[in-house]
Amino acid sequence: MPVTYDSLARGHEEAVRWGPFVQGDIGDAALLGETMRRYRVEAIVHLAAFAYVGESIEHPARYFENNVRKGLTLLDAAVEAGIRHFVFSSSCATYGIPNGSLISEDMPQRPINPYGETKLIFERALRWYGEAYGLNSVILRYFNAAGADPDGEIGEEHSPETHVIPLILAAADGGDSFKVFGDDYETPDGTCVRDFVHVRDIAEAHVRALACLEKGHASTAVNLGTGTGHSVMQLMACAQEVTGRTVPYTICPRRPGDPPVLVADCNRAREVLGWHARCSDLRTIIKTAWRWRLSRRRSLASERAL
């Protein structure tokens, strides 16, 4: 039975669909310990980091506080509770600007923004906690998580929204013009290229990571992606095809901390987890995200009508 522990600082209680919910901060050592004892927690999936690159550049202290200091409190509580299995939601942002076309887990990690730096610091902490306390871990380095529940029940809802696909769909749905940050990168169409992976595939990877640890596999780090990159312009073209609407856009200067290309080498995920992306083609990702947006709009309209 899963237990969801969330401060709701950036999450939504309505998204909790299975098992009990505990509202709490990962910096609250007493509540963490009580929760782990009460529910006899056997493994932890840590997804509680702040994750906006731009915000991390403007407010690095906020990111080191939440992602590092409070993250270490979570690790200490896990060790105190005798937990031995830990799955960490990390990021391709730990690699910085890669040297090759495909990024493997063995490439140097040189973050170029505080968000990536805090993820890397926590990865290193996990290594040493494993050495000293026997806390085995699987680090999942997401590339660009995207899409929504295919049934339209759960999807992205951030405030402010910073993720590219929801912003493109908002523009298609009559919102503000979509901002393209840079069209002068050394890519085929001048815009950034990213590897997008559907959230359903990411969820499956977490289940497989937990099973891997239960079988006694050594700690490891694994990329989660598709091995195929798509540019911002390609995203807009696909969104226009899926929605049947025009996406108005404006070219803006590059953002600090944005690498031109991030695409995953996913061989280790196949070898270690037996995982590969099954529903992460771009059209499926955008189609599910669009369905979620329309479903959410209808739901909010119904609530206002009551």
Instruction: Lay out the sheet containing 261-262: strands in order across.
Output: 230-231, 193-194, 261-262
Measured CA to CA, the distance from residue 116 to residue 223 in angstroms comes to 14
Lookup: tokens for 303: 């609530």
Exactly one of 52, 95, 115, 129 is catalytic; which is it?
115
Distance CA 205, CA 207 (A): 5
In three-state form (DSSP H/G/I as H, E/B as E, the rest C), the secondary structure along 28-71 is: CHHHHHHHHHHCCCCEEEECCCCCCHHHHHHCHHHHHHHHHHHH
Cβ density class 141-166: b for 16+ within 10 Å, e for less: bbbbbbbbbeebebbbbeeeeeebbb
For residue 205, the one-letter residue type is A
DSSP 3-state of 234: helix
Which positions ≥6 away from 28 have C-beta within 8 Å? 73
Q: Which amino acid is at 34?
A: E
115 is catalytic: yes
Tokens representing residue 120 in the block: 């890397």
In the structure encoding, which two tokens stand for residue 214, read together?
């239960």
Q: Where are the beta strands (DSSP E) in 95-219?
A: 136-142, 144-146, 178-181, 193-194, 196-198
Catalytic residues: 115
